[in-house]
A and B are shown apart, each in its own frame.
Chain A
């Protein structure tokens, strides 16, 4: 485990999520020559979402590598480089394409530590992005965190704000375990305050994004801003919800989530991924087990519809959790439908 400076400097500036990620990569590459990047169109083009813009110019083609469109092998090569002590950060352009690289991620990286009796390490970060909302249709819009959540040996981060994106990515690069770092395509241009100077955010530390007393809303990634605006609406009606963002799903800060639910006595879990076999179901099972006597209502799950994402704009939206769904679910737990 790396030493974490938990003190976050107070001076802040406003920046975009993608700029915060860029800054994290730049700082870590300056700090540690073993950090290098590889992916499709990340060098000369600076990445499809501009996360790696300007890094080729600063660090050169040896540390910012454009790859062929061959996810299985360039991810595998990153795993192999990590086995020899490098700290590669792979960009997989869409999480949908990560399915091509499941062998190096799941069978190789995730298992190396155990298979070598604890001797071997794979300090790898796989950055990728998922989610719907861009009319990119069925093969470029999935939310697949549950696939990685299921695999022992992987860490999993899903930041919702520029501040979290930067602090978590820096930590991910310093961890000795493989990390799946899932960004959201609709968040890249979102803005937020980012502290000046060096800071890290420890994995497994949930954050209360908005305090409240009446119900606990648990959400990650792009569902957090949606829950924040639902919370605004509810507040206007006198309902104060607490929005809690686990920030990393593995490790999961179950303690912090349960603490909030024990206080509010109601839990609503919001995920963009399809409901079946999702992370929300697992969190719900933890809550019912750890806070059963505190609950005043069944745990609600608001999740994506169980379908591939359609291209049609209106139908795409109909497949994703909306503010009104979140508002209605909170009211159900309060008996105020």
Chain B
């Protein structure tokens, strides 16, 4: 195990915990009717966004998914503007017009979540192409899923990234369910990283619940991209803690599987790293958690007190459509 500073481990844990707490708060706001529409919690997958984004520079691009709150937070988004977006308020990242499934934070290189599974892979490859054509040292990271990896554009876009040697890191968050369809019913080859090998892409399978394992592989992948050695495919194996979205109880998910992955919980693993490798005390860890909770409370209050975009402002925005 490499040597990690306490600060770095604390930063990782803070992000893991923020995502976990954000989703729990989001579900509460949803139950209260304050968040409407779809809400896909990232709960159980926190180590992937956290580990990958810790390996990125501010200038890099990220393409997110419908289950995208974790990516947004791991890129350092402002929680006030995030909650405001989920509540559909004009102070949100997308002025309330995008919502959970389209949240984007262009100021942090987060080019957006996407409601179309798989569709963000070509977009991310294009962002890498743009960076390469401009001669800029930027890597483009696409988060997709086992569902996305069965979509045609996943293969096409990975092929493009390979043949053009683009600085693109494609991360398959293999949570083993496409909505409710288990992976073995959707594909014969369930080791999804192998798809990259057939296209000449450096490809690896990793434990998606271990934030340091994710970080180490992402760091190597990003370095490889920066050296101009072409794209990398990482398959991060994980599991959702619940159904596809907030109103799906996930009854099709076997109890023993959920128990197994809860016993290997990414937030707990991150907490243990901070304590064991970083030497943080319980008290220090508790103070990180308390700070996150305060920030989140402030964010909710800010969002609740924010107005929605007026019809007039909306009409001005869509002028010419």
Contact of A68 with B112 at beta-carbon distance under 8 Å, contacts A73-B122, A77-B122, A116-B102 already known: no
Residues of B within 8 A of A (CB): 61, 63, 92-98, 102, 104, 106, 111-112, 114-116, 119, 121-131, 133-134, 140, 152-153, 156-157, 159-160, 163-164, 309, 317-318, 320-321
Contacts A77-B160, A116-B104 known; list 15 others, CB within 8 Å. Answer: A36-B133, A67-B160, A72-B153, A73-B156, A80-B140, A81-B133, A84-B61, A84-B130, A108-B116, A108-B123, A116-B97, A117-B96, A117-B309, A118-B95, A120-B104
Closest residue on chain A to residue B94 by CB atoms: A117
- State A74–B122 Cα separation when bound (angstroms): 7
**Pairs across A and B, CB under 8 Å, 5 listed:** A73-B159, A84-B61, A84-B126, A84-B131, A116-B104
Interfacial chain A residues near B116, Cβ < 8 Å: 103, 107-108
Contact pick for A114, options B125, B160, B317, CB 8 Å: B317
Interfacial chain B residues near A236, Cβ < 8 Å: none
Interfacial chain B residues near A72, Cβ < 8 Å: 122, 152-153, 156
- State A103–B116 Cα separation when bound (angstroms): 8
Q: How near does chain B come to A79, taking the closest CB pair, in angstroms?
A: 6
Contact of A77 with B320 at beta-carbon distance under 8 Å, contacts A116-B112, A119-B104 already known: no
Residue pair A80, B125 in contact (C-beta under 8 Å): yes
Residue pair B97, A115 in contact (C-beta under 8 Å): yes
Residue pair A84, B127 in contact (C-beta under 8 Å): yes
Q: How near does chain B come to A320, taking the closest CB pair, in angstroms?
A: 31
- What does the 1/0 interface line of A51-79 toward B look like (CB < 8 Å)? 00000000000110101101011111111
Interfacial chain A residues near B124, Cβ < 8 Å: 80
| A153 close to B (CB within 8 Å) | yes
| A104 close to B (CB within 8 Å) | yes
Contact pick for A117, options B95, B122, B157, CB 8 Å: B95
Interfacial chain B residues near A220, Cβ < 8 Å: none
- State A74–B129 Cα separation when bound (angstroms): 11
Interfacial chain A residues near B121, Cβ < 8 Å: 73, 76
Residue pair A77, B94 in contact (C-beta under 8 Å): no
Interfacial chain B residues near A107, Cβ < 8 Å: 115-116, 119
Q: How near does chain A come to B122, taking the closest CB pair, in angstroms?
A: 3
Residues of A within 8 A of B (CB): 34, 36, 62-63, 65, 67-68, 70, 72-86, 88, 103-104, 107-108, 112-120, 152-153, 177, 251
Closest residue on chain A to residue B138 by CB atoms: A84
- State A107–B163 Cα separation when bound (angstroms): 26
Residue pair A77, B129 in contact (C-beta under 8 Å): yes
Contact pick for A153, options B93, B111, B127, B321, CB 8 Å: B321
Contact of A120 with B160 at beta-carbon distance under 8 Å, contacts A81-B126, A115-B104 already known: no
- State A118–B104 Cα separation when bound (angstroms): 11
Interfacial chain B residues near A76, Cβ < 8 Å: 119, 121-123, 125-126, 153, 157
Contact of A81 with B92 at beta-carbon distance under 8 Å, contacts A73-B153, A86-B134, A120-B104 already known: no
Closest residue on chain A to residue B93 by CB atoms: A117
Contact of A79 with B156 at beta-carbon distance under 8 Å, contacts A115-B104, A117-B98, A251-B320 already known: no
Residue pair A112, B130 in contact (C-beta under 8 Å): no
Interfacial chain A residues near B111, Cβ < 8 Å: 80, 83-84, 120
Q: How near does chain B come to A147, taking the closest CB pair, in angstroms?
A: 16
Interfacial chain B residues near A117, Cβ < 8 Å: 92-98, 309, 317
Closest residue on chain B to residue A87 by CB atoms: B130
Q: How near does chain B come to A23, taking the closest CB pair, in angstroms?
A: 23
- 3 tightest A-B contacts by CB? A80-B126, A76-B122, A117-B95
Residue pair A77, B96 in contact (C-beta under 8 Å): no
Q: How near does chain B come to A154, taking the closest CB pair, in angstroms?
A: 9
- State A67–B157 Cα separation when bound (angstroms): 11
Interfacial chain B residues near A108, Cβ < 8 Å: 114, 116, 119, 123
